[in-house]
Structure 1
Amino acid sequence: MIKATIIKEDFKNGKYNELLKDIYVDESLIDYQQTRYIKAIEKYIDLYGDTDVEIYSAPGRSEVGGNHTDHQHGCVLAAAVNLDAIAVVGRNNNIIKVLSDDFDIAPIDLNDLEIKKDEIGTSEALIRGVCSRLKELGYTIGGFNAFITSDVLMGAGLSSSAAFETIIGTIISGLYNDMKIDPVLIAQVGQYAENVYFGKPCGLMDQCASSVGSLINIDFKDVEKPVVVKVEVDFSKFGHSLCIVDTKGSHADLTDEYAAIPSEMKKVANYFGKEFLREVDEEAFFNDIAGVREVCKDRAVLRAIHLFAENKRVEGQVEALNTSDFEEFKKLIKASGDSSYKFLQNVYANCDVQNQSVSIGLAMSEKIIGENGVCRVHGGGFAGTIQAFVKDEFVPIYKEKIEKVFGKDSCHVLKVRKYGGMKVL
C-alpha cells in the first residue's frame, strides 16, 4: 500500500497515463480518467485521512447476445466496457464503511452478516451478502474504508449493481486474499448477494462479464461451473462502434416485470418436468404447444420460443465473429432484437404502456441508421438503454440525431475493455 497523497501526486505527474490507456483503451479518455482518479483520492482523504490505500476497478458490461437466457442456464455473449466503478480503499478493522459517490452507505459490521429484511433493495444488502458468502466459502474477510465513484449508468442496462458487487468482492480478494479469488467465483458471490440479500432474482451474466472482463461467451448449462471462453476479436477492425443510448426510462417499480420472465420460462420447463428451459427438448415443446398454451398461457409460450432461438443465435454470433463475418453478426444482432420485441416482450412494461422510451429509441435509431448499422434492446429491458452497432463514419451523425431525442450525452460510444474486476494500484 502507498499513502494516498503520494498516489495523487503520481497521477498528477502522468506516471499512470499508460496504465490508464491500457485499462480504458481510448487514448482520448486519459485526461478525463486522470482527473477522475485524482478527485476520488482527494475525496477519500477528506473522508478518512491520508492513509495507505489501494485502488480497484470493476467495469460495466454490455450484453451482446443472449437476452434473458442466463437464468435458464443458457448461453450469452457479453463484453466488459470502458465505463467502470473505481474504489480508493484503506484497511479498517472489522467494519466496512463506504461512500459511493454522494450516497452514504451505512457501516457494515462483519460480526453481523445475517440477512436484514429492512435492507432488501439496498447497497448495504449487497455488501453484507458478498461478505457473508465469501466467509461461508472459507475466504478471509476484513474491514475497509472506501470511496467508490462510478460512471456506469445507473439503472440503464450496463449493470451498475454487478459492477458494485464485483468491486466489493475484488476489494476483499485484494486486501485479504492476495487477489486469489477466482473472478467467476466473485461473480457467483455477487449473484448470491443480489438474489438472497438484495431480493432480485437476477441471472449470472452481468456479474460474470464485469468480473472476468473482455468479450466472453458464457455457457451456463452448469451454473456451478459456467464455461467462460474469451472471444479474441478486435471490434475496431470491422469499422463499427458500439453505441449505448440511455433512453432515460426509469427502472423503478419494474422488479415484478423482470421477475415474471424467469418465472414464466420456468413454468414452461416445469410443464415438461424440468426446472429450467435449457433442459427442455425444443422439438417436444413445439409438438405439444397446444398443451403448453393451456397450462402456461401464451406469453410464457412466446418467451420460451425466444429462449430456444436466442441460445442458437449466440452460437451463431460467436462463429460469425471468429470467422470475421461481421455482416452475419449484425443480422443476428437484429434478429435478437426483433425476438426480444415480439416474443420475449421486454421492450416496455405492460404496467405502464404510456411510457415506451426504449421503443422510441429503437424506432428512431432504425430511421436514423438505415443501412449504417443495427440496433436492439439492451440488457434487462423495459426501460433504460438500447444498443447499436454503427459504422464508424456514421457515429457522429447518429450521436447528434439520437441525442436530439434523449438529450446531450445520452449516446455513449464505448470500447470493449480486456480487464474485469482488478486491482489498479
Structure 2
Amino acid sequence: MGKTIAVLKKEFEEGVYRKRLKDIYVDESVLDYQTERYIKALTEFAALYGEKEVEIYSAPGRSEVGGNHTDHQYGKVLATSINLDAIAVVAKTEDDIIALKSEGYHKMSVHLSSLEPRDGEEGSSEALTRGVASRLKEAGYKIGGFEAYVTSDVLNGAGMSSSAAYEVLIGNILSGLYNDEKIDPVFIAQAGQYAENVFFGKPCGLMDQMASSVGGMVNIDFADPKKPIVKKVHVDFEAYGHSLCIVDTKGSHADLTDDYAAIPEEMKQVANFFEEDVLRKVDKNEFYLNLPKIRTILGDRAVLRAMHLFEENKRVDEQVLALEQGDFENFKKLIKASGDSSFKYLQNVYSSHELNNQSVSIGLAISDVVLGEKGVSRVHGGGFAGTIQAFVPNDIVGMYKETIENVFGEGACHILKVRPYGGMRVL
C-alpha cells in the first residue's frame, strides 16, 4: 500500500510532489490550487475512515477536438484529456464492499456480491460503480473492496464528461489495487461505457471514456466499435504556445432531448436508404450519386447532416496528419472547418425550436471578432446550448477571457491545458 495520510499531507505541504503535479496538470499557475485540493481530499478521507495508508488515483475530463457527432455512426474522432480531473484517495479493504463518498453527494456502499443491474439504481453513481466492477470481473480481472473519498473539478454539463471520468477512476482503482495496474486503458474505457449503457441507463458512445482513459491527444476509429482502433497522437501542445479555452455560454440544456436525438436518427435514416444501420458502412460516392433521391424522401437536413459525417471523418485524418507533421496553423484551420461544418451542415449550434436563444452562436461570433486570424473557436460537445471551445495564443488569452466573460459572466471561460495522461495512479 501507499503512505499514511499524515505523511502524505506533510509531503504535499513541503512541496515534495510539486514536480509530479506539474507533470500531470501542465500549468504552473494551478499547482498551489492542486496542492491544497489534494491536502483537503486527504483530510476528508481521514475524517470519514480514519488514519490509514492510502493511494491516490486520477481520471481526467475530456474535450472533443474533431469528429463532432461521428462516433454514433462508427466514425472517426480526435479528442484530448484536459487538466481538470476527478481524484480519489483510496484504502484497500478486506471485504467485498466499495464504500465511497463523492464531494457534495451522499456516502454510498456497493456490495460486490451482487453485480447485476438493480431496479431503482439507474442514473446513480452506484450503478456506474457496480457496472464497471461487473464488467472487469466478467473479463476475468480481480475485484475487491475499498474505501474512497472522491472530489472532481470536471465541470458538469460542460461537455467535458464528468461521468466518464468517474467510470475511468473506478476502473483504475480496481486495476491498481487488485491487478497491478495491468488492465488495458482501452478495456477500462469499454467497461465504463458498458456501465453507462447497461447499469446507468444512458446509451452513450465510447469517445468520452476513451479520451479520459487513454489520455493525451487520442485518435479513435470506431469502424468496429467492439475493437476501436486507438492511436495516441504525440504532440507537445505547450510548444505551440496555445491554451485550450472552454466557454460556458450559459444556454439551458432543458428541452433539448429531441434536438440531440434527431441527429443520429436522421443519419440512420440516410444509412437505411442504403440498407445499412450506420453511415460509416455507406459508400460516400454512392451517397453523393443518390443525393437528389435522398432529398426527396428524407428532406434536406438529413442530407446535410450526412454530408457533415462523411467530410468530418476525412477531416479528422487531416487533423491528425497536421499535428504529426508539426503544422499547427493548418491544424487550427481544420478545427475551424470542423466547427463551420457543425454549424452549417450538422446544425447543432442552436435549436430550431428556440430561434431567439442562440448563446453558442453569440460565443462563436464574439470569438471570431476577438481572435481574428490568431485563434479559432468551435461548438463543443453535443451542441445546441452549453459550451464552445477555442484554441487561443497564450499572449492574448487574458484579453480573450476578459472579453468573453463580459458577455457571459465571470468564471465562464475556463483556461485549460492538454493533459498528457489518462486514468492513472498518482501516488
Query: Fold conserved (TM > 0.5)?
Result: yes
> Which segment is superposed worse, 216-225 or 155-164?
216-225
User: Equivalent residue for 1:264?
Assistant: 266
Q: What is the letter of the counterpart of residue 357 of structure 2?
A: N
Q: What displacement does 1:313 show?
A: 0.7
User: Equivalent residue for 2:81?
Assistant: 80
Answer yes or no: is the 8 Å Cα contact 1:337–1:376 preserved in 2: yes
**1:203 paired residue among 198, 202, 205:** 205
**1:291 paired residue among 293, 306, 322:** 293
Q: What is the letter of the counterpart of residue 145 of structure 1?
A: E
User: Equivalent residue for 1:279?
Assistant: 281
User: Equivalent residue for 2:27?
Assistant: 26
Is 1:399 matched up with 2:401?
yes
Sort the Cα spacing of 1:182 and 1:392 in 2 relative to 1 into closer, same or farther, 3 A.
same
Answer yes or no: is the 8 Å Cα contact 1:221–1:278 preserved in 2: yes
Distance (whole Å) between structure 2 residues aligned to residue 5 and residue 59 of structure 1: 26
> Which segment is superposed worse, 17-26 or 235-244?
235-244
SS of aligned partner of 1:157: coil
Q: Where do 5+ consecutive residues of structure 2 fail to align?
A: none
Q: Where do 5+ consecutive residues of structure 1 fail to align?
A: none
Q: What is the letter of the counterpart of residue 303 of structure 1?
A: R
**1:103 paired residue among 87, 102, 105:** 105
Sort the Cα spacing of 1:47 and 1:40 in 2 relative to 1 into closer, same or farther, 3 A.
same
Q: What is the letter of the counterpart of residue 328 of structure 2?
A: F
Q: What displacement does 1:409 show?
A: 2.2
SS of aligned partner of 2:108: coil
1:282-321 superposed matches below 5 A: 282-321=284-323
Is 1:61 matched up with 2:62?
yes
Q: What is the letter of the counterpart of residue 59 of structure 1?
A: P
Answer yes or no: is the 8 Å Cα contact 1:71–1:262 preserved in 2: yes
Q: What displacement does 1:392 show?
A: 2.1
Q: What displacement does 1:241 show?
A: 2.1
Write out per-residue CA displacement over residues 309-340 of structure 1, whole angstroms, 9 at most, x where no aligned residue.
10011111111122222222121111111111
Q: What is the letter of the counterpart of residue 345 of structure 1?
A: Q
Answer yes or no: is the 8 Å Cα contact 1:372–1:394 preserved in 2: no
User: Equivalent residue for 2:14?
Assistant: 13
**1:418 paired residue among 409, 420, 425:** 420
> Which segment is superposed worse, 237-246 or 12-21?
237-246
Distance (whole Å) between structure 2 residues aligned to residue 295 and residue 194 of structure 1: 35
Answer yes or no: is the 8 Å Cα contact 1:105–1:124 preserved in 2: no
Q: What displacement does 1:296 show?
A: 3.7
User: Equivalent residue for 1:121?
Assistant: 123
User: Equivalent residue for 2:217?
Assistant: 215
Q: What is the letter of the counterpart of residue 411 of structure 1?
A: C
Distance (whole Å) between structure 2 residues aligned to residue 261 and residue 406 of structure 1: 27
Distance (whole Å) between structure 1 residues aligned to residue 275 and residue 241 of structure 2: 47
User: Equivalent residue for 2:51?
Assistant: 50
Distance (whole Å) between structure 1 residues aligned to residue 296 and residue 317 of structure 2: 31
Answer yes or no: is the 8 Å Cα contact 1:4–1:52 preserved in 2: yes
User: Equivalent residue for 1:338?
Assistant: 340
Distance (whole Å) between structure 2 residues aligned to residue 252 and residue 133 of structure 1: 32
Distance (whole Å) between structure 2 residues aligned to residue 105 and residue 290 of structure 1: 57
Sort the Cα spacing of 1:358 and 1:58 in 2 relative to 1 into closer, same or farther, 3 A.
same
Answer yes or no: is the 8 Å Cα contact 1:130–1:190 preserved in 2: yes
Answer yes or no: is the 8 Å Cα contact 1:272–1:280 preserved in 2: yes
> Which segment is superposed worse, 272-281 or 244-253?
244-253
SS of aligned partner of 1:103: coil
**1:142 paired residue among 144, 153, 158:** 144
Q: What displacement does 1:255 show?
A: 4.2
Distance (whole Å) between structure 1 residues aligned to residue 248 and residue 414 of structure 2: 8
> Which segment is superposed worse, 295-304 or 77-86?
295-304
Superposed CA RMSD: 1.7
Sort the Cα spacing of 1:351 and 1:149 in 2 relative to 1 into closer, same or farther, 3 A.
farther
Q: What is the letter of the counterpart of residue 10 of structure 1?
A: E
Q: What displacement does 1:400 show?
A: 0.6
Sort the Cα spacing of 1:236 and 1:272 in 2 relative to 1 into closer, same or farther, 3 A.
same
SS of aligned partner of 1:119: coil
Write out per-residue CA displacement over residues 171-218 of structure 1, whole angstroms, 9 at most, x where no aligned residue.
111111111110000011111111222222221111111000111111
Write out per-residue CA displacement over residues 66-101 of structure 1, whole angstroms, 9 at most, x where no aligned residue.
111112111111111111110111223222222211
Q: What displacement does 1:263 show?
A: 2.7
Q: What is the letter of the counterpart of residue 7 of structure 1?
A: L
Q: What is the letter of the counterpart of residue 378 of structure 1?
A: H
**2:178 paired residue among 172, 176, 180:** 176
> Which segment is superposed worse, 365-374 or 39-48?
365-374
Q: What displacement does 1:266 show?
A: 2.2
Q: What displacement does 1:352 show?
A: 4.4
Pairs aligned (count): 425
User: Equivalent residue for 1:90?
Assistant: 91
Q: What displacement does 1:300 show?
A: 2.5
Q: What displacement does 1:354 show?
A: 4.3
User: Equivalent residue for 1:35?
Assistant: 36
Answer yes or no: is the 8 Å Cα contact 1:246–1:406 preserved in 2: yes
Write out per-residue CA displacement over residues 349-403 of structure 1, whole angstroms, 9 at most, x where no aligned residue.
3454443322221122122222221100011222221111122222111111001
1:346-425 superposed matches below 5 A: 346-425=348-427
Distance (whole Å) between structure 2 residues aligned to residue 128 and residue 351 of structure 1: 38
Q: What displacement does 1:136 show?
A: 1.5
Answer yes or no: is the 8 Å Cα contact 1:23–1:417 preserved in 2: yes
**1:164 paired residue among 143, 166, 179:** 166
Q: What displacement does 1:291 show?
A: 3.2
Sort the Cα spacing of 1:352 and 1:47 in 2 relative to 1 into closer, same or farther, 3 A.
farther
Q: What displacement does 1:64 show?
A: 1.0
Distance (whole Å) between structure 1 residues aligned to residue 111 and residue 188 of structure 2: 21
Q: What displacement does 1:149 show?
A: 0.7
Sort the Cα spacing of 1:337 and 1:131 in 2 relative to 1 into closer, same or farther, 3 A.
same
Distance (whole Å) between structure 1 residues aligned to residue 254 and residue 107 of structure 2: 20
Distance (whole Å) between structure 1 residues aligned to residue 337 and residue 89 of structure 2: 42
